[in-house]
Each structure stands twice: as structure tokens, then as C-alpha cells.
């Protein structure tokens, strides 16, 4: 007769319930995030650490392109994040540059948050403000960590002056950056003047200069923010960077491979950045290796990378879906805590298996 040392009895699984479904418009997103830029930067930094620790799933982004509209695209960023956030979901973000000539923003987005227990979506969040905020928070975090040890630069230049540039300036200002000089350059003179007006209304004490060309902007800036819609490299001269600036290469495709080759290169995620025709991807194709990559921002935060001061430092963030999820869940939690969620009752109506 066989005896068992332990009981083989199993406990019933805890019952699951379908979460209520909420819609969070942009006005609510903005209300939650405005004035909390420091908290969002801290959240983004922690999300980078969680991702680097392997407690996330962040597949490659999927690009929906159109033969009849070659400059336009819609991108799907599915992801899952653990840590203290614990949410699955997807960002669906479009980029239609021709919108700008009609006076409406280039990008629009929605973010879907999914419950990790049931898989049910529990929120649809206006995503363009989430996307701009996490991008700006990522840039602000990189500017902080990558300038440590050599003092915060006092001259900044913005190459491309759309919504992302405005948010990056806002996040830098909110995280205690101040500048003596702010340079501006854009292919559209009207846009450049408009951004100058925004900067002056923001209360900056810096001298704001609209530059006539890219070389003047780059040579006169110690931090350079690239936030364009460029589809291929258009800045080629390495001598423009001989003063070894910090480059926030947010739009990813502005710099010729030889500029990256002469720089310290910090990415947000190596596999993601070396795809889709980014400047880093082009350099990998040119050299046949990834030796030019010095590490990720998470590596820098963990002290695994030593930054050189005798060459430019370039931060190239592909933009991870886990960041959108973390910021979107933060917005959701804040609204839930204050009782301001706009819930759609009976959004899921077929909940009986057999009718």
C-alpha cells in the first residue's frame, strides 16, 4: 500500500470578474500629468530598470505603411510590464506629416490597457499626450544621467519644433534645467518663430535665437534635441560636433552613420533601435557589427557604462511600448483614486458562456 506524505487536494481557482471599461479623453490625461513631470520622469526611469531586469515583454513595433501615402504610417506597439505597474496593452499611433499643412497635429494615438488576470481591456486612453509625455520624460532622464560628471550644459538647441520638442522643453524645465541660450531651427520658418514665441511665453530667461541653418544651431548648442520627421539622415558633417555635445536623437534618423561612429552611443533598447532604418541600424549594416553601441540608459543608471568626455554622446531612444503602458496606467490609477473615471456600463455584453 502506497502512502503519500503530502495531500494531493487542490484548491479551487479564485473566481474572475470582467473589469469595468473606461474611456479617458485627452483633457483628463493632461489634467493628471500637468505639473507631475518629475513623477513621470521617475516612473520612466523605474520602467527602464524593470525592462532591463527582464520583467517585461516588448515585441518589435509593427509598421502599417501605405503605397499611396509613403510619408504616412500607423504603428502598433504591444507590450506587457510587471514590477509595480502590472498591465498589458498596446499603443496604436499614427504619423501623418501632411496634417501639419492643414493646421492639425501630425500624430494621433490611442492606448488600450488590458487586465493581466482576465485579458479584458479595461481602458481606452487618448494616447498622443501619453506618448509625448513618456518621450519627453525619457529625454529628460537621459539628459540628466548622461550629463552627470561634467555639469549641466547651459546652451540647448532644438532641431525640429513640433509637439515633442515643446514637451521635452517642458519636462526639462520642470526637472530644474535652466539655460542661458536656446537655439531653434526648423525647415519651416513659421514653425521656428512659433516655437520661439512659445519659449518666450514659457517665462524662460534664456536668450532665444532662431538659426538660419543647422550648422549654426549644432555648433552653438551643448545639448541638441532632434525632434523631426526625417525618414533618412540629413546631417552628415562630423566636424559640426567637434565640441562634443550631448545629442538627444529622439527622431532617430537625422544623423549620418559616421556621426554615430564617432560618438558614444546610448540606446533605450539595443534590439529595437537597430531596426527600421534608424541611423544606428544603418551603422550596423555598414559595419556588420554592434561594437559602436556603448550600452543602454538602464546600463548608465546602474553604473555599468563609463561615459567619455572626448567625443559626442548620442542618446537614441526607439520608444518602448512599456513606457506608454506605465504612464497610461499611472493616469488610470490617479483617476480611479479620485473617482473621475468615465466608465461605459455594459461595454462587454456577451458575458454568459451559454447565453
**What digits encode the pLDDT tens for the residues 67-123?**
999 999 999 999 999 999 999 999 999 999 899 889 898 889 999 999 999 999 999
Q: What does the alpha-carbon distance between residue 138 and residue 164 come to, in Å, rounded to a whole number?
A: 12
pLDDT-based confidence at residue 351 (cuts at 50, 70, 90): confident
Mean pLDDT of 201-205: 92
Q: What does the alpha-carbon distance between residue 255 and residue 140 come to, in Å, rounded to a whole number?
A: 20
> According to the CATH classification, is domain 21-130+321-344 in 1.20.120.350?
no
Mean pLDDT of 149-153: 85
Least confident of 10-24, 54-68, 195-209, 284-298: 10-24
Summarize pLDDT for 33-49 with one digit per residue, the tens. Answer: 999 999 999 999 999 99
High-pLDDT (> 70) share of the chain, %:
96
| Model pLDDT, residue 101 | 87
pLDDT-based confidence at residue 13 (cuts at 50, 70, 90): low
Q: How many CB atoms lie within 10 A of CB 312?
A: 23
Q: What does the alpha-carbon distance between residue 140 and residue 159 come to, in Å, rounded to a whole number?
A: 16
Pick the CATH number of 149-316 from 3.90.1150.10, 3.60.21.10, 3.30.420.40, 3.40.50.720: 3.40.50.720
Tell me if 216 sits within 8 A of 238, measured CB to CB.
no
pLDDT-based confidence at residue 9 (cuts at 50, 70, 90): very low
Helix (H, G, I), strand (E, B) or coil at 156: strand
Q: State yes or no: pLDDT of 278 exceeds 90.
A: yes
13: phi then psi, degrees, rounded to nearest 5: -65, 145
Q: State yes or no: pLDDT of 338 exceeds 70.
A: yes
Mean pLDDT of 137-142: 98
| Model pLDDT, residue 7 | 35
Q: State yes or no: pLDDT of 208 exceeds 80.
A: yes
Summarize pLDDT for 295-318 with one digit per residue, the tens. Answer: 999 999 999 999 998 999 999 999
Beta pairing class for 343-344 and 264-267: unpaired
Nearest one of 85, 82, 77 to 58, comparing CA atoms: 77
145: phi then psi, degrees, rounded to nearest 5: -65, -35
185: phi then psi, degrees, rounded to nearest 5: -145, 135
Mean pLDDT of the chain: 93
| Model pLDDT, residue 10 | 43
| Model pLDDT, residue 14 | 75
Beta pairing class for 246-249 and 313-316: parallel
Can you give the residue ranges of every domain in the chain?
21-130+321-344, 149-316
Q: What does the alpha-carbon distance between residue 287 and residue 275 come to, in Å, rounded to a whole number?
A: 15
| Model pLDDT, residue 11 | 46
Helix (H, G, I), strand (E, B) or coil at 171: helix
Torsion sign (Cα): 251, 256, 262, 265: positive
Q: What does the alpha-carbon distance between residue 283 and residue 287 come to, in Å, rounded to a whole number?
A: 6
Beta bridge partners of 109: 93
The DSSP secondary-structure symbol of 109 reads E
DSSP 266-293: EES-HHHHSSTT-HHHHHHHHHSS-TTE
Q: For 162-187, b where at least 16 C-beta lie within 10 A, e where not — what string?
A: bbbbbbbbbbbbbbebebebbbbbbe
Q: What does the alpha-carbon distance between residue 225 and residue 213 come to, in Å, rounded to a whole number?
A: 15
High-pLDDT (> 90) share of the chain, %:
86
| Model pLDDT, residue 146 | 97
Tell me if 111 sits within 8 A of 89, measured CB to CB.
yes
Where helices occur in the chain by DSSP H, the ranges are 26-33, 37-52, 128-147, 163-174, 189-201, 214-219, 257-261, 270-273, 279-287, 297-301, 321-337
Cell reading at 233:
539622415
| Model pLDDT, residue 267 | 98
pTM beyond cutoff 0.85: yes
Q: What does the alpha-carbon distance between residue 144 and residue 153 come to, in Å, rounded to a whole number?
A: 10
Amino acid at each position: 500500500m502506497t502512502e503519500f506524505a503530502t495531500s494531493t487536494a487542490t484548491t479551487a481557482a479564485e473566481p474572475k470578474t470582467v473589469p469595468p471599461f473606461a474611456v479617458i479623453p485627452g483633457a483628463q490625461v493632461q489634467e493628471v500629468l500637468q505639473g507631475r513631470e518629475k513623477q513621470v520622469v521617475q516612473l520612466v526611469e523605474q520602467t527602464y530598470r524593470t525592462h532591463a531586469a527582464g520583467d517585461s515583454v516588448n515585441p518589435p513595433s509593427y509598421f502599417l505603411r501605405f503605397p499611396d501615402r509613403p510619408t504616412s504610417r500607423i504603428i502598433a506597439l504591444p507590450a506587457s510590464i510587471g514590477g509595480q505597474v502590472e498591465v498589458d496593452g498596446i499603443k496604436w499611433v499614427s504619423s501623418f506629416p501632411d496634417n501639419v499643412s492643414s493646421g492639425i497635429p501630425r500624430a494621433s494615438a490611442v492606448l488600450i490597457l488590458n487586465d493581466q488576470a482576465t485579458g479584458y481591456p479595461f481602458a481606452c486612453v487618448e494616447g498622443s499626450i501619453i506618448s509625448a509625455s513618456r518621450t519627453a520624460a525619457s529625454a529628460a532622464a537621459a539628459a540628466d544621467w548622461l550629463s552627470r560628471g561634467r555639469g549641466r550644459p547651459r546652451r540647448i538647441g532644438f532641431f525640429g519644433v513640433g509637439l515633442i520638442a515643446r514637451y521635452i522643453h517642458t519636462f526639462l524645465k520642470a526637472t530644474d534645467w535652466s539655460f542661458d541660450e536656446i537655439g531653434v531651427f526648423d525647415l519651416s520658418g513659421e514653425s521656428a518663430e512659433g516655437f520661439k514665441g512659445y519659449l518666450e511665453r514659457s517665462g524662460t530667461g534664456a536668450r532665444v535665437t532662431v538659426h538660419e541653418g543647422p550648422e549654426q544651431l549644432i555648433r552653438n548648442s551643448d545639448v541638441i534635441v532632434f525632434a523631426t520627421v526625417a525618414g533618412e539622415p540629413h546631417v552628415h558633417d562630423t566636424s559640426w560636433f567637434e565640441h562634443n555635445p550631448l545629442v538627444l536623437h529622439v527622431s532617430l534618423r537625422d544623423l549620418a552613420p559616421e556621426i554615430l561612429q564617432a560618438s558614444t552611443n546610448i540606446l533605450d533598447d539595443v534590439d529595437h533601435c537597430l531596426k527600421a532604418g534608424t541611423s544606428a541600424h544603418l551603422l550596423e549594416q555598414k559595419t556588420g557589427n554592434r561594437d559602436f553601441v556603448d550600452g543602454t540608459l538602464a546600463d548608465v543608471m546602474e553604473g555599468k557604462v563609463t561615459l567619455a568626455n572626448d567625443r559626442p554622446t548620442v542618446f537614441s531612444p526607439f520608444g518602448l511600448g512599456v513606457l506608454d503602458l506605465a504612464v497610461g496606467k499611472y493616469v488610470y490609477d490617479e483617476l480611479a483614486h479620485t473617482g473621475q473615471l468615465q466608465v461605459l456600463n455594459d461595454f462587454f455584453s456577451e458575458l454568459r458562456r451559454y447565453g
